[in-house]
């Protein structure tokens, strides 16, 4: 993983990274925000079901919820085999979309099907054009350039706690984990940091999301919290000397807990309170994109 360059260099679209189990029946705060960013009642949403083993059920669920949120058009991009990512129809749906939504399932199904294909190129081009891209659960993990693909829940950090693989690369130098507090995943995120302390660890709880805007600032939405683990100041780790099932030593990790309304500057690695987002767009205010 590179340690140079900006975290989201060249990405002009917003990212909505959801920890899974987002509200689909009530106020739908997170999904409404995604729709708003995609154009509101003029939104054209493409739902990518590559991660799931049950695309019919998942497609039906998101068609219904986006219809209730008055999305103008919802299409389904089914990528059940890698060959599908070379077909014209799914490619055109990505190109037409103002919002792209990755469902949950298995993040390896996303990257193994899309990586290096015309569909992946179209996805990256869309993000560069300003199209909002969202992912829930597995779709959230796949956003960054390195992703967690497995590991022990609720365990101590060890080298064997976390399995990692290349992600989609829409965010750099970040590792995202989902269902975070609900499944006790702090150990596996710490394991990822121990192996590369420069990486920023972002753990997103269920029914919670971060909205990452151009410029590298995110704000938290939803009913739970986001945990940020910053390993840049780590003074010691035994990751290279320990055996796989031995508990890891890790000195100097910085931890932040961010509820809704709070945020984080990915470039300066500083947490932001709600006051940082007041008066967006007014003279003299921080140059954070309007949330």
Q: Give me Rg for the CA atoms of the chain.
A: 18
Could you tell me if 64 and 28 are in contact, meaning their C-beta atoms sit under 8 angstroms apart? no
179 noted as active-site residue: yes
- In tens digits, the chain (291 residues) has pLDDT values of 334 445 555 456 799 999 999 999 999 999 999 999 999 999 999 999 999 999 999 999 999 999 999 999 999 999 999 999 999 999 999 999 999 999 999 999 999 999 999 999 999 999 989 999 999 999 999 999 999 999 989 989 998 889 999 999 999 899 999 999 999 999 999 999 998 899 999 999 999 999 999 888 999 999 999 999 999 999 999 999 989 889 999 999 999 999 999 999 999 999 999 999 987 655 555 556 456
As a whole number of angstroms, the distance between CA 161 and CA 256 comes to 22
Domains of the chain, earliest start first: 15-268 (3.40.50.880)
Instruction: Report yes or no: 60 and 24 within 8 Å, Cβ to Cβ.
Output: no
Catalytic residue among 22, 141, 179, 191: 179
CA 175 to chain centre: 9
Query: How many other CB atoms are there within 10 angstroms of residue 118's CB atom?
Result: 15
59, 137, 141, 191: the catalytic one is 137
Which residues are registered as beta bridge partners of 212? 15, 218
Among this protein's residues, is 137 annotated catalytic?
yes
pTM attached to this predicted model: 0.93
Torsion over CA: 272, 276, 277, 281 (sign): negative
DSSP 3-state of 193: helix
Give Cα 207 distance to the centre of its chain: 13
14, 22, 75, 206: the active-site residue = 206
Expressed in angstroms, the distance from the first to the final Cα of the chain is 30
- Which of 218, 124, 235 has the alpha carbon at shortest distance from 174? 218
Q: What is the maximal distance between C-alpha atoms in the chain? A: 55
């Amino acid at each position: 993983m590179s340690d140079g360059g900006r975290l989201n260099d060249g990405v002009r679209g917003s990212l909505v990274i959801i920890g899974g189990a987002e509200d689909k029946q009530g106020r739908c705060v997170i999904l409404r925000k995604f729709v708003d960013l995609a154009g509101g009642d003029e939104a054209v949403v493409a739902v990518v079901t590559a991660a799931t083993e049950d695309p019919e059920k998942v497609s039906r669920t998101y068609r219904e919820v986006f219809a209730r949120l008055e999305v103008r058009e919802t299409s389904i991009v089914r990528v059940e085999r890698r060959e599908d990512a070379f077909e014209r129809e799914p490619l055109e749906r990505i190109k037409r979309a103002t919002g792209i939504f990755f469902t949950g399932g298995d993040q390896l199904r996303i990257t193994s099907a899309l990586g290096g294909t015309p569909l992946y190129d179209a996805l990256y081009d869309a993000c560069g054009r300003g199209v909002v891209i969202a992912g829930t659960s597995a779709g959230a993990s796949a956003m960054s350039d390195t992703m967690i693909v497995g590991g022990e829940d609720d365990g101590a950090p060890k080298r064997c706690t976390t399995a990692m693989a290349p992600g989609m690369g829409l965010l750099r130098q970040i590792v995202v984990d989902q269902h975070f507090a609900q499944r006790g995943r702090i150990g596996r995120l710490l394991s990822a940091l121990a192996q590369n302390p420069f990486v920023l660890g972002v753990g997103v709880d269920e029914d919670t999301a971060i909205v990452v805007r151009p410029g590298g600032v995110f704000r938290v939405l939803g009913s739970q919290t986001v945990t940020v683990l910053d390993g840049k100041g780590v003074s010691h780790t035994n990751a290279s000397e320990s055996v796989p099932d031995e508990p890891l030593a890790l000195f100097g990790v910085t931890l932040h807990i961010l509820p809704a309304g709070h945020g984080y500057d990915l470039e300066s690695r500083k947490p932001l309170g709600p006051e940082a987002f007041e008066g967006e767009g007014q003279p003299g205010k921080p140059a954070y994109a309007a949330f």
